[in-house]
Chain A
Amino acid sequence: MRLTTVLYALLGLFALCVPLLGIYPVFMMQLLCVAMFACAFNLLLGFGRMLSFGHAAFFGSAAYATGWLVTAHEWGPGAAILAGVAVAALLGLAVGMLAIRRQGIYFAMITLALAQLVYFVCLEAPFTGGENGLQGVPRGELLGFLPLKSDLVLYYVVLAVFVAVYLFIHRVVHSPFGQVLKAIRENEPRATSLGYEINRYKLLAFVLSATLAGLAGSLKALVFGFVTLTDVDQSTSGEVILMTLLGGTGTFFGPVLGAAVVVTLRQYLSDLVGGWVIAIIGVIFVACVLSFRSGVVGELAAWQLRRQKPSPH
């Protein structure tokens, strides 16, 4: 476990020094937002064992809310982000209440259907700009004095939020709530027989996941300065599933790793191999499902565990 702390410290140092190393801050911020989204999704999939096929609905709707409030109503970034998060939470509650009643494939299909409805609303609503999206979202000043227009300042803000979210998820999973969730995941009938109202727990997990996804979306709106339909569409939902699966469901760092790999692949590879990126991502996806079922981090963790214990075979 000491090793893990060392690794985290190294990563933290790396993250803090990013601007000094000459890495493009906007790229890193994109990575952090996406990683946040993946971690939020993993709370649901990895720790709650619920596969949502329409998580982009929460990410994108928060982004639209924040973007619109900042552009059309000139709200400050802090308030707008909070509003965006609130929108995602409410939406999560609504979707969750409908979806929780079913399990497995049916749960996934309901989330898919409801996400399509959200997409439709975003397409048709007058304030979202439809296919053109919301453009020119200003960054403003956080808390009245932090100029977010500077990529540097915004980077550290996003980094701080990311770390907070990461620690929060860690805390949730290790809390009594998280333990009950684990029990539900491993043996639902048993948990019910012990008197736990599983639907309440599942719903709370869903809402938490949606809220954090919304936070990622709101930040993304400010980082890039625009919100488009891509943020609520099926491909974004699919991509977050991919990242989480790739990095490792049920681990903390897995989604971050998965997000980093996918975003980097897109950035780096698309210059080299152009449109083959999608196909390559698909191959990696299939490989993960077939062999790396617990994802890269999961496999490494399991491998490490095997090495520690003297194994009979």
Chain B
Amino acid sequence: MTTVFGIPVAVILGQLTLGLVNGSFYAMLSLGLAVIFGLMRVVNFAHGAFYTLGAFAALLGLQWLGINYWASLVLAPVAVGLVGIVVERLLLRRVYGLDPLYGLLLTFGLALICEGSLHQVFGASGQSYPVPPALAGAVNLGFMFLPLYRAWVIAISLVVCFSTWFVIERTRLGATLRAATENAPLLQAFGVNVPLLVAATYGGGVALAALAGVLASPIVLVNAHMGSSLVIVVFAVVVIGGMGSIFGSIVSGLVLGVVEGFTKVIYPEASNVVVFLIMALVLVLRPTGLFGRE
């Protein structure tokens, strides 16, 4: 067994691969957060709740309506996205002109409501969601058995993240969005329906979170608290990447997932906090984040 500093290479590669899987989730979630913050200057603390809702939508869709995994990949984000739009129109709209802390607190409260209700109705321990048969089984990478499903997660997240980046940075729709972040009234004067754009952006951002939730359901147990433990880490990722930067959040997400995996090899217990350590350092040394533009 070849070793690096006394640790078998197989172990390192295995943890890095798993880290890449986690990183894919971080990337997708921080992407949604960055988009929402970039346009609306709202720190969407409810992002974790929408992730959880996506997972539950898939679970309940299967249990109550027999909707299979592949359909859920499309239907769940759409459903949750619509919920997001409703939330935006009814609630978020009312705190726009105020101190951004109000937006943070409002979404924090929404997350509490969502989590509390789901906990009460479904209990704290999770329910398992079956891996779709087409993706069952594992591939022997030599240093570990990688379940096919996790390889799929990495692939689809990369596709989704980079498509979103492409849309925002390289298409006309994206240009309109970016214009809205820079000067919304001017854009409105040009005839663009900015409120609609904002609502759609929020819906889109949370739909991304919901998609991550659906992807996560066969891996982790679907439970009320799956989002809350994740959202704090995702915030750190977004801050590290730069709060308004799409590219920054994708790259940071992936890299930090891998860093976490690596930490699991050297000092497993610290894997939970290494992201926060890095965030604190980044905030003190380079406050706009690694790729931030402000």
Contact = CB atoms under 8 A, between A and B. Distances in A.
**Is B a genuine binding partner of A?**
yes
B111 interface: yes
A283 B108 CA distance: 11
Contact of B273 (A108, A116, A288): A116
Interface in A265-282: 274-282
A286 B110 contact: yes
Contacts of B232: 112, 116, 234
Interface string B267-294: 0011011001101100110010000000
Contacts, number: 115
A105 B104 contact: yes
B156 interface: no
A250 to B, nearest CB: 13
B111 A282 contact: yes
Contacts of B116: 275-282
B95 A109 contact: no
Is the contact region of chain A dominated by helix, strand, or loop, or is it mixed?
A: helix
Contacts of A245: 105
A290 B91 contact: yes
Interface in B228-286: 228, 232, 235-236, 239, 243, 269-270, 272-273, 276-277, 279-280, 283-284
A147 interface: no
B280 A110 contact: yes
Given A104-B101, A106-B283, A281 B112 contact: yes
A286 B91 CA distance: 9
B100 interface: yes
B102 interface: yes
B280 A113 contact: yes
Interface string B91-105: 100110001111011
Interface in A248-275: 274-275
Given A51-B101, A290-B91, A117 B117 contact: no
A147 B287 CA distance: 51
A289 B109 contact: yes
A274 B280 CA distance: 38
Measured as residues with beta carbon below 8 angstroms from the partner, the interface class of chain A is 35 or more
B247 to A, nearest CB: 20
Contacts of B178: none
Contacts of A170: none
B43 interface: yes
Interface in B120-136: 120
Contact of A101 (B91, B117, B270, B284): B284
A275 B232 CA distance: 23
A51 B108 CA distance: 13
B239 A117 contact: no
A120 B273 contact: yes
Contacts of B109: 282-283, 285-286, 288-289
A279 to B, nearest CB: 3
Contacts of B277: 113, 117
A109 B239 contact: yes
Given A113-B279, A116-B276, A282 B110 contact: yes
Contacts of A285: 105, 108-109, 112
A98 interface: yes
A234 B108 CA distance: 12
A72 B164 CA distance: 56
B59 to A, nearest CB: 19
Q: In this complex, which of A102, A109, A241, A293 has the most chain B Cβ atoms within 10 angstroms of its Cβ?
A: A109
B96 to A, nearest CB: 12
Contacts of A274: 120
A120 B272 contact: yes
13 contacts: A104-B99, A109-B239, A109-B279, A113-B277, A116-B273, A116-B276, A120-B272, A241-B105, A279-B120, A281-B116, A282-B111, A282-B113, A286-B91
Lowest 3 A-B CB distances belong to which pairs?
A278-B116, A282-B112, A279-B116
Given A102-B287, A110-B279, A113-B236, 18 more contacts: A104-B99, A104-B100, A110-B280, A116-B232, A117-B277, A119-B273, A120-B270, A238-B112, A245-B105, A276-B120, A278-B116, A278-B120, A281-B116, A282-B110, A282-B114, A282-B116, A286-B91, A289-B105
